[in-house]
Chains A and B, each alone.
Chain A
């Protein structure tokens, strides 16, 4: 699970400081999974929180861009973006878990250890998946190289044979052989 929080502040040129909050300034958040499929595409305000859970292992792409056209008026404007992305075990809200499952402090500590171990397991599964995929890719590349070299050899041999026969018929025609 991935939780992202962001907050934006617009630079006020007159007062030369960042405004505490800018209503009307929105950010568009897009998340793509490793197969380039859009799994989240939403617009949020100047402050927002987005969550997604990955279903396939690999590189996910998180993009934030401003939807505001007001920027075109402010040449040299600056926008301060506070960004916080928590992944895996760090995304857990332990206060909420403690309240929901009514855990004592010690139980909550043990719960955190369990979450950490689960994250380690997930990472190990990912390593196994990646290694297998790497192996498949390498095998595929190897196959292609093999077929290419066989094909190239056959073409070279065929051209050589054709050249010899062509030259032979040429010399015979010229009555040199």
Chain B
């Protein structure tokens, strides 16, 4: 899994608003570094009536907890949790617009954290655009393929969660044995 660190330009009030890809309405998963006393926000354009879900997990750092809140385009907080290690949140968008979700490490004075999140919007698009416009029912073979695809997706998802949950102990052992290692760039 890649790790993204975004470095804002050296000037004072420059804000980087991160918008997750607007080409395919599918979803994005990202692991990023959250410095201490910092907040990082992500934005996504969601249509009305579309269901979206956010899973997040703290991988390394401090007491493995982070604050998270989600705001709709009107500024109402539709989800707010403090000091959670991992959580999952789904919501059906009532208003069309740019939704914002933020992770805050402002309560911590010295531990920077690595946070993973998986943001899914709507349903998975078909691999060929024509597949979405079918008029006939799926054949037995095709239905079997769909079932296997869903099952494999569940396997991949649980592998991801297992990998993240099991990252804490090896990371700690490395830190103890080899020292701090890669320092975060500020």
Contacts and interface: CB of A to CB of B under 8 A. Distances in A.
A81 B16 contact: yes
A63 interface: yes
Given A59-B3, A141-B176, A113 B16 contact: no
A134 interface: yes
Nearest to B139: A106
Contacts of B176: 141
Given A59-B3, A60-B3, A75-B12, A117 B173 contact: no
Interface residues of A, number: 56
Contacts, number: 153
Given A83-B19, A94-B127, A98-B128, 6 more contacts: A59-B1, A85-B2, A95-B129, A105-B142, A113-B145, A120-B152
A65 interface: yes
A71 B14 contact: yes
B128 A141 contact: no
B84 interface: no
Contacts of B166: 127, 130
A140 B139 CA distance: 57
Contact-size category for B: 35 or more
B21 to A, nearest CB: 3
B20 interface: yes
Contacts of A127: 159, 162-163, 166
Interface string A57-88: 00111111110100110111111111111010
B50 interface: no
A61 B5 CA distance: 7
Interface in A1-44: 2, 5, 7, 31, 36
B142 A94 contact: no
A85 B4 contact: yes
Given A63-B6, A64-B6, A87-B2, A82 B127 contact: no
A95 B128 contact: yes
Contacts of A87: 1-2, 29
B177 A65 contact: no
A113 B149 contact: yes
26 contacts: A5-B23, A59-B1, A61-B3, A63-B185, A64-B6, A65-B6, A65-B9, A75-B11, A75-B12, A81-B16, A81-B19, A82-B20, A82-B21, A83-B18, A83-B20, A83-B28, A83-B30, A94-B127, A94-B128, A95-B128, A105-B130, A113-B149, A120-B152, A126-B163, A127-B159, A127-B162
